[in-house]
Chains A and B, each alone.
Chain A
């Protein structure tokens, strides 16, 4: 055998060299292959494709992107404080990822539908989710504090990557709606958010297979924040994550996730591409989780602070501030107002979080099924009878108060 086979250009040495280069690009300086428009120095560069999209942003848009990033950072600080004060059971900070979230969220249209994971507070802001409502889940009063039908922003999903499949199915529904409505339905697309850690989950693979096979209008937006709790990205992948799109047969783009202008431009391009029926796109936003995974995490156990400092030098807000000031698009008064607005938002969130009422377990009984279910009804009836047995019992209300206080 072998003599009958045509010669190939397979070169084992070249393959090995490429594998090494890919592995270095996962964590190393990726600037050579990454879309970046606004550098850490606040200077705006050019890109043959994406500058055209960036040029659509007016000075007012740019100021808005800054204000959104500042607001969500302020919110993040407030929520962390609320957790430290026992008002929240847990908080999932986003600091460092403001540009990736605000840039992509602001690129979406109202008719688009968003499937977040659980750190997308910045995207939630762009979809007009009440940020105080967002805290319900972390306070333990709801597993989903908002109605996705009102914002087209789905509930947070905590089982990693499960939502990427929901996103593709939703996009398949959009395709069918457009056929049923014969062009009357507005073109819409879906964004599926996930992280570098979740990229290892099988559901990401299956979602990309389905999306590609059916040409579904979905944008996979991977925030590579370098750490899946304590495990670095090079344990999840040996190639830049954006490279994986090639294996599924659709475009993959790595973008500087701390450059809000580039993120906005790339996402806008990808959503247009999807809405036009050209199929899915994978965006890898190369960014960094400056803080802990959650308020229960301790990054000092697994990474060095000089790495965090290096990423702080690439901060998404400060680079846009430099640009806005250098171009004369914003002055001290603007930044002072942004700060004041942030403090007002924080005060609102603090006040509202305090006032979030504990639910009644009867609502949990009510929502197990959409229709009547005899077992649920029977158990609720038992519960009512059981609790009624405590009526008039002096100790019961006192215990209830104590339990409520323990929960605060």
Chain B
């Protein structure tokens, strides 16, 4: 076991995959000598050279589009999108090309491209730097979407994403880049399947599902609720597509109440999808409506008011009160 931050864990995971496979390469803006704006690729260009850690022109469609071409030639490119809000110039390449290539080639072609996107708010930044666009990608068949919430998962999930033959988007919780935790570099252990949810804390009164940056918030809310004598189960979703409905359903069948928390706006979001599926699968187990805790239907607000926008412990506890009032 080694203690490291999430940023360092991704860095080490990338180092491991670059060392293991000569056809893995990293592409992105400022990922070379600078090591990326979050230093996630720090030191890698010195170790693997500019052909494998590629500082690209400043063009997101170009990054994704050329990564597709490299994948067609047998390479495994890992693209870094500098910030969540800047992925949209590459949205066309991701949704019309990358996601569909395997299907439209009748399975003849695979495009194992990984796209890393630092996402979410809470860092007091300027506009376009704090968004959570995961639902836009989850709606697109052909993509896999994962989001680690701790260093051990981060270390293994980035490597599992590179090994996957499908395109994978890794949403990295940017405000947790400096969160420290234990990493077992000898083996993934319970993290062996990146597309399975983890029950982080068992409980009997209600279930809180969260992912990425809100996982520590959900855990803190559960601890606070415990002081009031409420037993809350917390699930870290880890994967958004595919989404592990089995784990969520099993938990709801036990607790009868479900709260889903994410930073993204609730309308049309992952929480709504989970609510619909759970109502189909576990209708008779539900003691209360599924309650969503998330962002509002507005462009991500300015930094000075983001605390009012972002779900926090109190917002989850308020949702818990409502769920338990039925």
Determine the distance from Cα of A364 to Cα of B105 in the docked complex, in whole angstroms: 11
A276 at the interface (CB under 8 A from B): no
Least CB distance, B163 to chain A, in whole angstroms: 10
Knowing that A207-B66, A370-B166 touch, tell me 6 more A-B residue pairs with CB under 8 angstroms.
A176-B75, A207-B62, A210-B59, A210-B62, A374-B195, A375-B242
Residues of B within 8 Å of A373, CB to CB, are 144, 242
Cβ < 8 Å to B, chain A residues 139-172: 142-144, 147-149, 154-155, 157, 159, 162, 164-172
Q: Tell whether, in the assembled complex, residue B102 and residue A368 are in contact, meaning their CB atoms are under 8 Å apart.
A: yes
Cβ-closest chain B residue relative to A142: B106
Shortest Cβ distance from B289 into chain A, in angstroms? 24
Interface string of B25-68 (1 = CB under 8 A from A): 10000000000000000000000000100001101011011111
Does B141 lie at the interface of the complex (its beta carbon under 8 Å from any beta carbon of A)? yes
A159 → B minimal CB distance (Å): 5
A172 to B69 Cα, complex, angstroms: 8
A173 touches B74 (CB 8 A): yes
* A400 CB to nearest chain B CB (Å): 23
Q: Compute how far the CA of A209 lies from the CA of B62 in the bound complex, rounded to whole angstroms.
A: 9
A169 touching B51 in the complex, CB below 8 Å, given contacts A210-B62, A213-B57, A375-B243: no
Residues of A with C-beta under 8 A to B89: 202
- B196 to chain A: closest residue by CB: A374
Is A162 in contact with B66, judged by CB distance below 8 angstroms?
no
B242 engages A374 (CB within 8 Å): yes
Residues of A in contact with B, size category: 35 or more
Residue B93 is within 8 A (CB to CB) of chain A in the complex: yes
A10 on the interface (CB 8 Å rule)?
no
Set of chain A residues within 8 Å of B164, measured between Cβ atoms = 371
Which one of A142, A148, A206, A374 lies within 8 Å of B62 (CB-CB)? A206
Q: Given A203-B65, A206-B59, A373-B242, are A170 and B103 also a contact pair (CB < 8 Å)?
A: no
Interface residues of A in 201-258 (CB under 8 A from B): 202-203, 206-207, 209-210, 213
How far, in angstroms, from A155 to B107 measured CA to CA in the complex? 12
B165 at interface (Cβ–Cβ under 8 A)? yes
- A72 interface residue (CB < 8 Å to B): no
19 contacts between A and B (CB under 8 A): A143-B106, A148-B109, A149-B108, A159-B96, A166-B66, A169-B65, A170-B70, A172-B70, A176-B51, A177-B73, A177-B74, A203-B65, A206-B61, A207-B65, A209-B62, A369-B102, A369-B144, A370-B107, A370-B165
B104 interfacial by beta-carbon distance below 8 Å: yes
A347 within 8 Å of B (CB atoms): no
Residues of B1-35 contacting chain A, CB below 8 A: 22, 25
Binary CB contact string for chain B from 223 to 244 against chain A (1 if under 8 A, 0 otherwise): 0000000000000000001111
- Tell me the smallest distance from the CB of B54 to a CB of chain A, in Å: 8
B301 in the interface (beta carbon within 8 A): no
Q: A169 — which chain B residues lie within 8 A by C-beta?
A: 65-73, 77
The answer to the question of A5 belonging to the interface, with a C-beta cut-off of 8 Å to chain B, is: no
B residues touching A (Cβ–Cβ < 8 Å)? 22, 25, 51, 56-57, 59, 61-62, 64-75, 77, 89, 92-93, 96-97, 100, 102-110, 141-142, 144, 164-166, 195, 241-246
Task: Check A363 for interface membership: any CB of B closer than 8 A.
Answer: yes
A179 within 8 A of B: yes
Closest beta carbon of chain A to B149's beta carbon, Å: 21
Asked if B107 and A367 sit within 8 Å, CB to CB, the answer is yes
Residues of A with C-beta under 8 A to B142 = 368-369
- Closest chain A residue, CB of each to CB of B55: A213
B57–A210 CB distance below 8 A = yes
CB distance from A78 to the nearest CB of B (A): 24
Task: Enumerate chain A residues within 8 angstroms of B102, measured Cβ to Cβ.
Answer: 367-370
Determine the chain A residues whose CB is within 8 A of the CB of B56 once the complex forms.
Answer: 210
> Are A166's CB and B103's CB within 8 A?
no
With A162-B93, A165-B62, A170-B72 in contact, is A363–B166 under 8 Å at CB? no
Does B62 contact A363, Cβ atoms closer than 8 Å?
no
Residue of A nearest to B60 (CB): A206
Interface status of A398 (Cβ within 8 A of chain B): no
The answer to whether A336 has its CB under 8 Å from any CB of chain B is no
CB-based contact A165/B104 at 8 Å: no
Q: Which residue of A lies closest to B22 (CB)?
A: A180
The reply on A174 being an interface residue by CB < 8 A is yes
- Nearest Cβ in chain B — how far from A147, in angstroms? 5
- Complex contact A166–B57 (CB within 8 A): no
Question: Shortest Cβ distance from B69 into chain A, in angstroms?
Answer: 2
* CA–CA, A58 and B107, complex, Å: 41
Contacting residues of chain A (355-392) with chain B, CB-CB under 8 angstroms: 363-364, 366-371, 373-376
Which chain A residues lie closer than 8 Å to B104 at the CB level? 143-144, 155
**Which of A171, A174, A176, A177 has the largest count of B CB atoms less than 10 A from its CB?**
A176
With A162-B97, A209-B57, A364-B103 as given contacts, are A170 and B51 in contact (CB-CB < 8 Å)? no
| B93, B103, B243: most-surrounded residue (chain A CB, <10 A) | B103
Question: Does the CB pair B22–A165 fall under 8 Å?
Answer: no
Q: Within 8 Å CB of A144, what residues of B?
A: 104-106, 108
Cβ-closest chain B residue relative to A170: B69
Shortest CB-to-CB span from A36 to chain B, Å, is 33
Instruction: Tell me which of B75, B96, B103, B141 contacts A162 (CB under 8 A).
Output: B96
Query: What's the minimum C-beta distance from B23 to chain A, rounded to whole angstroms?
Result: 8
Asked if A165 contacts B68 (CB within 8 A), the reply is yes
Whether the Cβ atoms of B109 and A162 lie closer than 8 Å is no
B60 to chain A, nearest CB (A): 9
**Beta-carbon nearest neighbor of B72 in chain A:** A170
Give the docked Cα–Cα distance between A376 and B243 (Å): 11
- Whole-angstrom CA separation of A384 from B226 in the bound complex: 46
A174 to B246, CA, bound (A): 44
Q: How far is the CA of A305 from the CA of B94 in the complex (A)?
A: 41
- Enumerate chain B residues within 8 angstroms of A367, measured Cβ to Cβ: 102-103, 105-107
Q: Which residue of B lies closest to A171 (CB)?
A: B69
**A165 pairs with B73, CB closer than 8 A:** no
Chain A residues within 8 Å of B245, by CB? 374
